[in-house]
Each structure stands twice: as C-alpha cells, then as structure tokens.
Amino acid sequence: MTACASAQDAPRPDKPGEKAGPEKTTDKEEGKAGDENKGKEDAGDAEEKPAPNDTVARHKRLLKDISDVIGTVTVSEADVKSWLDHRADFEKAMLADEDFGAKRAVSLKQAFDHALTSEVYTAWAKGENLNAEDWLRKSLRIKVLNYRLRALKEAPEQREALKAKLEKIEGEKQNLSTGEYENAKAAIADTQDLLTKLETYVKTLPEPSEPEKKALETHADELK
C-alpha cells in the first residue's frame, strides 16, 4: 500500500486556451491580457477535487478491519529495516500473484488473508528466511502507522497552502469572471472539507507507541 491519497492528490486542471489567430495587440493590451491569463491560471490551481465522502469511503474500505491484522504485533527499528530491505523484492515477487494485486486494491486485510495462503508469497518468504505471517503483519503495521504519522504531520502544511491559494485568488479577483472566481473558491472549500474529513478518519487508525514512532521517524525519508 502506498500512502493513501491526501487532499492535494487530485490532478491539475487544464489551463484556459489562448485566443486563436495572430491578432495584433498593443503593448498595453498585451499587458492586460497577460494579467487576465495569470488570474485564470491561478484560479485553475483550485480545480475540483474528489468528493470528500467518496475519498474517505475509499480509504475506509481499503483499511477496513486492518486493526485485526496489525493490532497483535508491535514493530522495532529492526522490523522497519527489514521492510525497507525486502520491500522491492516482495513487490516484484507478488507480481506473479494477480489475485493478491486485485485484493490489495480493495482491502489490505483481504490481501493479507490471501497472501498467507499464496504459494507465491509463502515460497518467497521461505526463500528470504522470513516468518511469512509475522513479517507481513509487521510490514502492514509499518505502512499504516507511517501513513497516520505523515498525514497528521502534513495536514497543517496543506491547510496553510490552501489558505495561501485562497488569498491569491482574492488578489486576482479583478482578473476573473464571476463564475471563475466562485468556482475557484468553491473548489478550495471542497478541498478543505476533504482534508478535515481525512484527518478525522486518520485519527481512528492504530496509533504508534513511542518506540515505534521513533523508529518510523528515524527512517521517514526512506519510507516515503
């Protein structure tokens, strides 16, 4: 599982098209047009984001019952290093199990349950001299805890970025049509709402112990 989508994961919009034809303009007109285009481009930064309820529902479905999988283990720095050392080979090996990939896209618990009976996974773990069940439980715990820590750390930064975008749009209001202005503000409001809902949900996920938090923070850059 990659870190779940944040409130800023939506694709950027297309920018407004230029006027057709080599129409000649004066320097003054070109300057005015440039200012107007700049305002439209700024407004474009606030393009529609996924509906908050849809995005949060997708995350809830993906992580449903994950506590049943990772709640029985704790992780150490050695476990974090083990995940980092083996994850590339694990991902490569599991490409041979199409059912695992399909289940992981829907539910991490379903993927976990499947992997424990997968000849592909159990053979890979044996070849790496790993305890198949214990390693996978701990690896999932590392990923979920890391997602929780990162999401809660980045939320204030994302709020500040949205605040700055809103201020920028207000500053360019005179260069926007009423529709562009209102749409840009509404898009930012939707993103703020999504961020709040995601943050609320993330706080319901298992919380790391202090030793776990320290181990994850030590390897934060590698875990991205």
**Residue 112 pLDDT:** 98
For the chain, the average pLDDT equals 83
Rounded to whole angstroms, the Cα distance separating 134 from 211 reads 19
Rounded-to-integer distance, Cα 211 and Cα 195, Å: 28
- Backbone region of residue 48 per phi and psi (left: phi > 0; alpha: psi in -120 to 50; beta: other values): beta
How does pLDDT run across 166-187, given as a tens digit for each residue? 999 999 999 999 999 999 999 9
The pLDDT assigned to 53 comes to 63
Residue spans per domain, the chain: 51-216
pLDDT of residue 55: 86
Q: What is the number of residues in the chain?
A: 224
Alpha-carbon distance of 183 to 169, in angstroms, equals 11
How far is 47 from 4, CA to CA, in rounded Å?
20
Stated pTM of the model: 0.73
Ranges in the chain, pLDDT < 50: 1-48
Strands, DSSP E only, in 47-116? none
End-to-end CA distance of the chain: 11
> What is the token pair recorded at 50?
């996924």
The pLDDT of residue 132: 98
Distance, in Å, from the CA atom of 82 to the CA atom of 47, rounded to the nearest integer, reads 40
The pLDDT, as a whole number, for residue 195 is 94
Q: What is the pLDDT of residue 54?
A: 86
